[in-house]
Amino acid sequence: MSDTVLYAVFPYLAILVAVGGGVYRYRANRFSYSTLSSQLLENRRLFWGSVPWHYGIVVVLLAHLVGFLIPGLWANLTSNPGTLYTVELIGFTFGLAALVGLCVLIFRRFTTERILSVTSPMDGVLLLALLVQVALGFYVSLAYRWGADWYVDTAVPWLISLVSLNPQTHFVSSLPLPVRLHMLNGFVVIALFPFSRLVHLIMFPFWYLWRPYQLQIRNTVRPAAGGAGH
């Protein structure tokens, strides 16, 4: 019963909150969609925190995503010991970078006077949830080796069962506690998405690569015979 609540109901709720809340916030208060950068106020520590954190977490998240999206290929990759070592090593390195970066960011946020003045309670909650998440993930990767391998046989089928609206909790319900906490806390982070600065995540401006440099916008529609514009 509690398994159903934890591994079948809660994830749906978290995603519902994230999507519903995100869309609502985008429509009702688009102004608030911001990374809320504090670089203007403090620069040096930010470098040692933000750079390792972001690059670390992006790679780790992508690895999670690839395993989930193309489990066949992933399983193939990790069945070869050589590649498995490499994948684990990469994961370890970037996971460590993310963890260290996050610690620097937390330290920075709560010890720099100027940064404290732009810190909201939600920032604290979010940082705590992220710290728990990354630390758990890091611990799992150390304590239960070859996670890149067993991930495709446990969490991935569970996630796929969630996506296909046919939740199968047995894939994960008997995993060790730290692993299960990592999964659940992951959904806590997802649920925090619309209430925090995490919203900047889906705003990453890839299209800049295709856009012309200059941008012109008119309030009026120009007449049909209009010349070429940007």
Partner 1 sequence: MDIRAQVSMVFHLDKCIGCHTCSIACKNIWTDRKGTEYMYWNNVETKPGTGYPTRWEDQNHYKGGWVVDGKREKRLRLRLQGKWGTLGNIFYNPNLPQLDDYFEPWTYDYQNLFTAPLTEKQPTARAISMVTGKYMDTIEAGPNWDDDLGGSQVYANNDPNFDGASEEEMRQINEINSTVFFYLPRICNHCLNPGCVAACPQGALYKRGEDGVVLVSQERCRAWRMCVSGCPYKKTYFNWSTGKAEKCILCYPRLESGQPPACFHSCVGRIRYIGLVLYDADLIEETAKAPQDQLVMAQRNIIKDPFDPAVIASARANGVPDSKIDAAQKSPVYQFVKKFGIALPLHPEFRTLPMLFYVPPLGPVLAKVENGVYDNVASEARLGPLMSSLDRSRIPLRYMASLLSGGNEEIIRDVYRKMVAVRVYMRSKKVKDIPAEEVERALQLGKTTPAEVEAIWRLTSMPTFEERFVVPPMERETAVDSLFPVLDPVSRNYPIRKGAVGVGFHTDPARGP
Interface positions with partner 1 (CB under 8 A): 28, 30-31, 33-41, 43, 46-47, 50-51, 53-55, 113-114, 116-118, 200, 203-209, 211, 213-229
Tokens read off for 219 = 């309030």
d(CA 48, CA 111): 15
Tokens 């514009």 belong to which residue? Answer: 229
CB of 166 to partner 1, least distance (A): 37
* CB of 164 or CB of 216, closer to partner 1: 216
| Amino acid symbol at 113 | E
* CB of 4 or CB of 111, closer to partner 1: 111
Asked if residues 80 and 149 have their Cβ atoms less than 8 Å apart, the reply is: no
d(CA 31, CA 67): 35
* CB of 49 or CB of 67, closer to partner 1: 49
* CB of 145 or CB of 200, closer to partner 1: 200
d(CA 8, CA 162): 7
CB of 43 to partner 1, least distance (A): 5
CB of 197 to partner 1, least distance (A): 8
CB of 114 to partner 1, least distance (A): 5
The closest of 217, 79, 83 to 149, measured between CA atoms, is 79
Provide the 8-state DSSP code for 73: H
